[in-house]
Amino acid sequence: MAKSVLTITLNPTVDKSTTVENLKPEKKLRCTAPKYEPGGGGINVSRGLVRLGIDSVALFTSGGRTGALLQELLEEEKVSVKTVSTKAETRENFIVVDTSHNEQYRFGMPGEDITVDEADEIFKTIITISPFPEITVISGSLPPGIEAAYIGKLVRALKEKGSLVIADTSGDALEEVLKEGVYLLKPNIGELATLTGQKELDNDSADEAAKQLVDEGKAEIVVVSLGPQGAYLVSKDETIHVPAPSVKKLSTVGAGDSMVAGMVSILAKGGTLTQMARMGVACGSAATMSSGTGLFSKENAEKLYKWLSK
């Protein structure tokens, strides 16, 4: 039986996307009908897990008409949800693809303030979940009103209750996560350089930098995304490099979240670290084969996983 999984998204969004031919300023642009999709790091991980046959609960804040739409969209995708109501309207992001050049323009909105009482309610809701999740994924940005220290406090509480914490965030929140230490961390190569106090890293030095974080007790496993070069998975006893398969890339949106979903699916089933790394790269690469804001298809992910496992 697979381990139970909770994903946490504190700054969720509905991604509204459209296409237009020849994007130009000060001109009335005739766009195609908008497409609405759920968005936010943890939410995308849960969406990916559904495709891989793994149950999870997606916990997120929800407010106003956009929040209601987000819940409806997730229910359509068979994602189990647990929401915390907020006075603030759930944010929208806006994505436009210029079909004449196949260029994507992404407009990210900040979201509105979370109140102190709402932040307390989020924390209480998470910590009192029963049965408590064996794996917890914290992914995405922080909304206005929630300080980075809040994430550190949350990680500490999750660990005290025995959950394996996987973190995919950035900036000050990532610094707070590292103070507490997590089970798995997924920085990109630029973030890894910052975390280890180095000006820059390349593919040859990334594994040593990741090992530094493991040795310092900041994570049991560090998975470094190398983009077209694949990924390194580094633990205390293993360093695994998985090359990225060559695929036709249409969009990189959602590739990081898809990679996390792939790794969590293997972790939940009790697989090996090598299998985790391969499925992570397979799902991340498969996501780039989808246009717009789509995640990966199960068919593409499984095909790439088999190729990587040869």
Among residues 198, 200, 169, which one has the least CA distance to residue 186? 169
Please count the other Cβ atoms lying within 10 Å of the Cβ belonging to residue 102.
Answer: 11
| Known active-site residue 257 | yes
Among residues 114, 122, 137, 123, which one has the least CA distance to residue 83? 122
Integer Cα distance of 296 and 45 in angstroms: 11
State how beta strands 13-20 and 5-9 pair. unpaired
Q: Which residue in the block uniquely carries the two structure tokens 């109501």?
A: 85
Q: String of b and e for 243-274 (b: at least 16 CB within 10 Å)?
A: ebeeeeebbebbbbbbbbbbbbbbbbbeeebe
Among residues 84, 55, 71, 80, which one has the least CA distance to residue 14? 71
Q: Which of 15, 168, 207, 257 is catalytic?
A: 257
Q: Strand 80-85's sheet: what is its strand order? A: 80-85, 57-62, 5-9, 135-139, 164-168, 182-185, 219-225, 231-234, 239-242
Active site residues: 257
